[in-house]
Structure 1
């Protein structure tokens, strides 16, 4: 069917692009296509680095919150220990 043929052609394009992204079958590409591929890879890398930095900042922020909560809990427990020592 026509739908099947379109899907098959789309799959072939995607597989070819995937090979290009992996650095395979590049000899069939023109200089313009190679420059396009390089630009796409650069853009993807920038996006990935940006996302990684965002996730790292979020992780650091969460760890700082946990650290603050643990410090507060530690201070509270230290006060309780000192109060009990006074009672003895």
Structure 2
């Protein structure tokens, strides 16, 4: 059917694009197509790095909170030990 043929053609385009994004089957691309691909990959890499940095900052913030809580707990326990030593 026509719908099946359209879906099959679309699938082939998507698979070809996926290979291009993976750096495969680049011989058939023109200079302009290679430049467009490079631009798309640069843009994707910027988004990836931005998200990675965001996650790293969130992780650092959480670790700092945990560190502060552990320091407070350590101080509390140290005080308890000193109080018991006085007894």
TM-score, length basis structure 2: 0.93
Structure 2: stretches of 5+ with no match in the other structure: none
The two structures, once aligned, show a CA RMSD in angstroms of 1.0
Please report how far the alpha carbon of residue 30 of structure 1 lies from its aligned counterpart in structure 2 after TM superposition. 1.3
Please report how far the alpha carbon of residue 68 of structure 1 lies from its aligned counterpart in structure 2 after TM superposition. 0.1
TM-score, length basis structure 1: 0.92
CA distance in 2, matches of 1:19, 1:13: 10
Structure 1: stretches of 5+ with no match in the other structure: none
How many residues of Structure 1 are paired with residues of Structure 2 in the alignment? Answer: 87
Which secondary structure state, in structure 2, belongs to the residue aligned with residue 23 of structure 1?
A: coil
Which secondary structure state, in structure 1, belongs to the residue aligned with residue 27 of structure 2?
A: helix
Please report how far the alpha carbon of residue 3 of structure 1 lies from its aligned counterpart in structure 2 after TM superposition. 2.8
Point out the more displaced range, 4-13 or 50-59.
4-13
Point out the more displaced range, 56-65 or 4-13.
4-13
